[in-house]
Structure 1
Amino acid sequence: MTAIVFVLFPGVTQLDLTGPAQVLSRLPGARVTVAAATRDPVATDSGFAMLPTATFDSAPSADILCVPGGHGVADALSDEPSIAFIRAAAESARWVTSVCTGAFLLGRAGLLDGRRATTHWAYAHLLPLVGASHQPGRVVEDGNLLTAGGVTAGIDFALTLVAREAGQAVAESIQLSLEYDPHPPFDSGTPATAGMRRTHALRASVYDDAAARMESALRDRAGNPQ
C-alpha cells in the first residue's frame, strides 16, 4: 500500500487538492488520506467545504506527502499544528510535494532550504524567503521534492509522480482514463501567453495584495523580521 496524505486547511484551493487526488488515487495500491486539525468540515475557496478523513494525530505515516495551496496559506503559515504535521510527515515520506502556494508551507516547515522549487507565477518571487530558488516550470523535481505551479499544474505533477512510482505506462493509462487532453478555448494560461496588459490587470486586482499578504506572513517570524 502507498499512503498518500494531503494536508487540508481553511481557504485551500480545492483543485490544488482534488486534481492530484483524482490522479494519485488511481496509483496501484494507493490509499488517499486527507488530514486536518480536526474531522470538522473545512471551507475551501470555492464556496463549499471538504471533509477530512483523518486528523493530524490519526493520519497514517505518509509515503507521499501532498500540500496544496490557496489564499488560506497566508494564515496557515502561522498555524503551528499544521506546520508541525508537515515537518514530521516529511521525515519519513518518499516524496514531499506541493501544488501552487503550498510550497510556502513546505518552506515554513524548513523543507525548501537550498532546494529548487516552483509555485504560482504571482508568488514565485517570494520563494527565496523560504530558502528556495525559483525554477520556472509546471513541475520541478529536486531529489524527492516535487513542486507544481499554479492550480492545474497539480494534475501534471501527479502524473509525473505516478510515472516515478509505477512507470510511464501506468501514468499514461491513468491520463487516458481521465481523458486528460487539455485544449483550452483560449491561449491565456500563463503571463507570457496572456500578455502584459492582462497580467498586470490581474496582478493589480488580485495578486498584488495577495502576494503582499503572503510576504508579510512569511516575514512575520523569528529571525526574519518585518
Structure 2
Amino acid sequence: MRKAKKVAVLLYEQVDALDVTGPFEAFAVASNWGQHFQVYTVALESNAPIRTISGLTIQPDFDSSECPVPDILIVPGGWGARKEMHNEKLTDWINETSRRAAFTLSVCTGALLLAKAGLLDELRATTNQRAMDLLKEYAPASATLVENVRYVDNGRIITSAGVTAGIDAALHLVAKLHGEELAIDTASRLEHNWRREPSEELAIRRATAEDVDCIRSLLIDAAQWIHSAHGFWQWRVESFEREIVEAFVRDHEVFVAAFGNEPVGCFSVHWGREEIWGEQFHDDAGYVHRLCVSRKRKGEGIGRELIRYAESYIGDRGKSWLRLDCMADNPSLNAFYLSLGFVLQGRFDESLWSANLYEREILGKATRH
C-alpha cells in the first residue's frame, strides 16, 4: 500500500482563513482516514497561534524547522501575503520546500509568494482577479498570467484564483493523484460544486498508427524551432519521413498528449541497451527519448506533465530510475531538466552532436546503490 502523501498548509499573520481551511478540508476529507493524505499546518518561525485576516486564530502544527518534508505544499493568500512576499526567509523556505515537494499549490495571492520565491519562471499562473495587477508587477517576465480561470496546472506548480477556487484546485490535485471518482466523492461530502477547468485536462495515452501525422508534425516543428533559435539541428527533419515515424510508433512505446483534439506533445520510453550511456547503462531504468511539446503551448507545464507521466509509467514497471539525454548545446533545456531535479551523469560526444545525460530517482522507489 502506498504511503500517505504529506500535505503542508502554510500559515502566516493575516492569511485568509478560507484559503487555508478550504484546501485543508479537501485533502482531509479525501484522505480516507489518513490512507491517502496526512494534512498539517506550518508557520515559519514558531508554532504560536496565527491570526487570520478575519480574526480567526489557528494553532500551527509545526514551525518550519521541525516540519516534515511535504509531498504537497499549499501556499494560501490573504492580505498578509502583500507583506510576507518581501520576507526573504519565508520565500527562501517556500522555494526550498517546493523544490523538494512533488506539488506546490497556491491559493489567491499565494501566487505572489511563489513569484517572489522564483517559482513562476516560464509558467502560466493565476490569482484572485482583484490582485491580478499586483501579480503582473511581481511575476517574472517569462510567466504568462491567465485571467478568468479557477486554476492553472503546470504539472508540479498549480496556482488558483481567489478563496474558494483553492478548493477546486485541491480537488483537481486529488483527482490527478487518486482518480476523479475520489475527487467527486470528496466534493459531494463537502457539498461543494466542484468547478473544473476542462481546458487544463491533459490526456496522455499510448500512440497508435492514427497518431503518426500529428507526432511527425510535432517533431518537425520542434526540430525547426531549435535550429532557428539555437543555430543547430538537434533532430534532422529528414529523420521524420512518414514511413520512419510509422515504424517508430509501431516498434516502440510512444505516447502522445492532447488537450481535447489538439495534439500538444509526445515522447517514447525505451528499455534496451543505450550506447550513449556506455558503462553507466543499467536495466533498472526507463529511457525517455524524443520528448517534445508544441510551441503553441510553451510555458504551460506540458513538458513537466509528460515527464511526470513517464516517471509513473516507468515506476509502475518496477524500475527505479528515469533517464534521458539532452542536446548539450541547448542551455535552456538543460536548465529545465536541472530545475526538475534531474542530476547530470555525464556527457556523450560524437562528431556532429553532444548530449548531456540525466537521471532522476523515481519517487517511492528504493535507492539502487
Give the TM-score normalised by structure 2: 0.48
Q: Larger % of strand: which?
A: 2
Q: Residue 12 of structure 2 contacts residue 80 of structure 2 at CA under 8 Å; is this kept in 1?
A: yes
Runs of 5+ unmatched residues, structure 2: 195-369
Larger relative contact order, structure 1 or 2 (CA cutoff 8 Å, min sep 6): 1
* Inter-partner Cα distance in structure 1 for 2:83 and 2:133: 19
Range with greater deviation from structure 2 (52-61 or 23-32):
23-32
Shift of 1:79: 1.8
- Hey, what does 1:109 align to over in structure 2? 117
Shift of 1:80: 2.4
Q: Residue 141 of structure 1 contacts residue 147 of structure 1 at CA under 8 Å; is this kept in 2?
A: yes
Shift of 1:152: 1.1
Runs of 5+ unmatched residues, structure 1: 183-226
- 1:57-102 superposed Cα distances (whole Å, 9 cap, x missing partner): 1111111111000000111112222112111111111111100000
Shift of 1:7: 1.0
Q: Residue 17 of structure 2 contacts residue 56 of structure 2 at CA under 8 Å; is this kept in 1?
A: no
- Hey, what does 2:16 align to over in structure 1? 13
* Inter-partner Cα distance in structure 2 for 1:152 and 1:178: 12
Q: 1:90 aligns with which of 93, 98, 109?
A: 98
* Inter-partner Cα distance in structure 1 for 2:172 and 2:191: 16
Q: Secondary structure at the match of 1:20?
A: helix
- 1:196-223 superposed Cα distances (whole Å, 9 cap, x missing partner): xxxxxxxxxxxxxxxxxxxxxxxxxxxx
- Hey, what does 2:249 align to over in structure 1? none
Which is greater in Rg?
2
- Hey, what does 1:135 align to over in structure 2? 146
1:74 paired with 2:82, answer: yes
Shift of 1:178: 1.3
Shift of 1:173: 0.8
Shift of 1:126: 3.1
1:156 paired with 2:168, answer: yes
- Hey, what does 1:189 align to over in structure 2? none
Q: Which 4+ residue blocks in structure 1 deviate beyond 4 angstroms?
A: none
Shift of 1:21: 0.6
Q: Secondary structure at the match of 1:165?
A: helix
- 1:84-140 superposed Cα distances (whole Å, 9 cap, x missing partner): 211111111111110000001011110011110000101113334221321121111
Q: Residue 42 of structure 2 contacts residue 61 of structure 2 at CA under 8 Å; is this kept in 1?
A: yes
* Inter-partner Cα distance in structure 2 for 1:44 and 1:153: 18
- Hey, what does 1:24 align to over in structure 2? 27
Q: Residue 68 of structure 1 contacts residue 101 of structure 1 at CA under 8 Å; is this kept in 2?
A: yes
Q: Residue 27 of structure 1 contacts residue 166 of structure 1 at CA under 8 Å; is this kept in 2?
A: no
- Hey, what does 2:292 align to over in structure 1? none
Number of equivalences: 182
- Hey, what does 2:70 align to over in structure 1? 62
* Inter-partner Cα distance in structure 2 for 1:75 and 1:181: 32
Shift of 1:144: 1.3
- Hey, what does 1:33 align to over in structure 2? 40
* Inter-partner Cα distance in structure 2 for 1:116 and 1:72: 23
Give, as a single letter, the amino acid of the residue that structure 2 aligns with 1:90: S
Q: Residue 125 of structure 1 contacts residue 134 of structure 1 at CA under 8 Å; is this kept in 2?
A: no
* Inter-partner Cα distance in structure 2 for 1:98 and 1:181: 20
Q: Secondary structure at the match of 2:46?
A: coil
Range with greater deviation from structure 2 (53-62 or 119-128):
119-128
Give the TM-score normalised by structure 1: 0.77
1:171 paired with 2:183, answer: yes
